[in-house]
Amino acid sequence: MKHLVKKSVNKSWSPALKISLIYSVIAILWVLGADSLFAVLTTNIDALPYFEILKDVVLIFMTAIMLFLLVARQLSKEDIRHFQIIKYNNTLASLIKHPDFIKGDFNGMLNSLTRILSDVLDVNRVSIWKLNKTQTTTNIEALNLWESSKNTHTKGVILSSVDFPEYFKALLHDRTLTFDDVYSDFRTKEFTEEYFPANNICSMLDAPFHFAGEIAGVVCLEHTGEMRNWTIEEETFIISAADILSIVFESSQRKELELTLRRSEKMEALGKLTGGIAHDYNNMLGIIIGYCELLELSLKNQPELEKYIKSIYHASERGAKLTKKLLSFSRNKSTNSEVVNLNTLLKEEQHMLEKTLTARIELQLTICDDIWPIWVDSSDLEDSIINLCINAMHAIDGNGKLTLQTSNKKLSTLDAEALNLKPQDYVQLSVTDNGCGIEPSMISKIFEPFFSTKGDKGTGLGLSQVYGFVERSHGTIKVDSKRGHGTCITIYFPRHAINDTPDNEVKVKNKNSTDLRGNETILVVDDEIALLDLTSELLLQQGYHVLRAESAEQALDILKNNAIDLLLSDVIMSEMNGYQLASIVKKTYPSIKIQLVSGFVDVQNIDSLDDELQEKMLHKPFKSDELLQAIQRLLHNK
């Protein structure tokens, strides 16, 4: 604040010094010239004492006039300052009572605040910028720029610390940045070539706003025309306005986090509900598919009956796909993750997407060079992109444009907290359309299962699948939309380090049925009797010795009295589940191989299970060959 005090003193005394200097010059001239004037006016020596008295009276009168001018000017200045302080305080009070401030609506507050500051301070250009930090650079992005002379709000301008290092250095360290003359200040010298001349800016006053103790952005006043000397009152006012904006920003970020948390909890609850249903449904599908395979082997010489079996089998596969859809918005769906280059995938899908969108929608790919790899299920990623593109197509009435953009992003602590992510490297995929946009009240609902704006034409599962896929991929999804202006959906995927790829990500080649036979003893545990019968029959046909248990407790009793080579157990069972059973068997009978199967990946007691069993788990419904190959790999360490 020292420079503010010095500045105030200079501005207060400058006019007083001028008046004093003028008085001093006139007084000296009067004293030096008074005798000469007397000599010109009269030669009467007797009048000299009276003239001396007159000379003193004139000096006293001049002194009185000077004092009057100084006092009058000071009183006038104090009145102006007092009026300004009252006006600024009233403005701050109105900002605190503003509906957007009360609601914590940061975006809504931007339009109002820029206009109010422009009117109160008589500044042509008022803008609010958001600070973004990356690993190598810092930049500010204009969230809202109000120009009163044009009566317009704009946004999107980005200024980088690489181009304006002195300004950013000052921004990160000073409470306010005051530039009476932007062309002579070393902190703004980088702006003088293009930015200031293009916008006719002569003076500037900036004040940062904060979030969680760090600078989140800056409020900027840009005065055009003649140079302006900013007052202490104006600086104090803009600091207070920035503090109010900090409160709104923090409230807005907290609300976004709360909405994200509530949505996540809701999806988690729905995931558990559908997961329980899927478990029973997958058991039924497993029975149907398993017996279809057994019948198909028995009816090879009866093509008509074999055709019926294939129809049943295909219907069951459709049911299995529906189950995956029900599970895809939760974290309970099994994944086949791999290293994916997002750019390559988009290029491969471009032709298919163009055909899907039809000729009325122009598809544009804006691809970042050297995109970082990600670790996702490529099939789910393709489905998600298709779902997002189809939704965008339905939102566009007539001809339109859809842009798919990729980029590498280094999220700072501030940006990561706002997205409920960890501060690290991410790959960003943005899907932007110029369609009708989404009502603000609908944005929080679009990822809910069975929510649709298409009436009977929509299932309401498309975006819920996208949400589930992104959550399973440890990313997040963000929606920006304005009614009548389009929608931008942005997905963040964590950057994948190549050395993080699991060693067991090896594709298993199919084997002939003759390779799948064995003579080992297998204990099959399942509380679904029909599935227990089917699995036992399948293994018996392949030459295995089979022991059966309808519960985990019964399985432990059998293990006490029998030599077992492999335990094949379902996960979801009453009383003791498959995780708990596997944990006991590993400790008590370490030589026994374990294969778990489930139609629903429950997280209960999963911490007691080692990573190898989780990774090798078979997910229902599966084909007979998949089960037999898994058993062969375990028994023979393949």
- Of 7-11, 344-348, 605-609, the range with the lowest mean pLDDT is 7-11
Is the pLDDT at 185 greater than 80? The verdict is yes
CATH number at residue 467: 3.30.565.10
One domain for residues 346 and 485 = yes
* Residue 120 belongs to domain with CATH number: 3.30.450.40
Of 215-219, 290-294, 408-412, 473-477, give the lowest mean pLDDT range: 290-294
Q: Is the pLDDT of residue 31 over 80?
A: no
Separation CA 540–CA 546 (nearest Å):
7
Closest CA relative to residue 320, chosen from 307, 331, 333: 333
List 302's β-bridge partners, or say none: none
Mean pLDDT of 131-140: 79
Q: Tell me the range of 13-27, 64-78, 358-372, 606-620 where mean pLDDT is highest.
A: 358-372
* Residue 470, domain extent: 338-498
625 found inside a domain = yes
Task: Answer whether residue 430 is part of any domain.
Answer: yes
More confidently predicted of 237 and 68: 237
Asked if residue 507 belongs to a domain, the reply is no
Assess whether pLDDT exceeds 50 at residue 404. yes
Tokens of 633: 């790999």
The residue ranking higher by pLDDT, 439 or 593, is 593
If one counts every other C-beta atom within 10 angstroms of the C-beta of residue 625, the result is 14
312 occurs within a structural domain: no
**Range with the largest mean pLDDT of 21-25, 83-87, 340-344:** 340-344
Position 439 scores a pLDDT of: 82
> Cα 538–531–587 angle (5° rounding)?
85
Say if residue 537 is in the same domain as residue 628: yes
**At residue 1, does pLDDT exceed 50?**
no
Buried b (16+ CB within 10 A) or exposed e, 607-623: eebeeebeeebbbbbbe
- For residue 543, is it left (φ>0), alpha (ψ between -120 and 50) or beta? left
Residues 87 and 139 both lie in one domain: no
Query: How far is residue 488's CA from residue 494's CA, in Å, rounded to a whole number?
Result: 20
- Do 622 and 546 share a structural domain? yes
Q: Is a pLDDT exceeding 80 seen at residue 418?
A: no
Please state the φ and ψ torsions of residue 55, each to the nearest 5 degrees.
Answer: -60, -45
Do residues 457 and 353 both lie within one domain?
yes
* Residue 5: per-residue pLDDT: 37
pLDDT in tens, 567-601: 999 988 888 888 899 999 999 999 999 999 887 66
Q: Cα separation of 222 and 147, whole Å?
A: 10
- What is the band of 62 on the pLDDT scale with cuts at 50, 70, 90? confident
Q: Is 558 exposed, middle or buried (0-12, 13-18, 19+ CB in 10 A)?
A: middle
For residue 28, give both structure tokens.
């000296």
Between the alpha carbon of residue 237 and those of residues 77, 122, 142, 145, 221, the distances in Å are 18, 13, 21, 19, 12
Q: 102 vs 159, which has greater pLDDT?
A: 159
Strand pairing class (521-525; 566-570)? parallel
Residue 147 shares a structural domain with residue 212: yes
The pLDDT value given to residue 351: 86
- Residue 54 and residue 123 in one domain: no
pLDDT at 269: 72
Lowest pLDDT segment from 168-177, 224-233, 289-298: 289-298
Instruction: Decide if 324 is inside a domain.
Output: no
User: Would you place residue 271 in the very low, low, confident or very high pLDDT band (cuts 50, 70, 90)?
Assistant: low
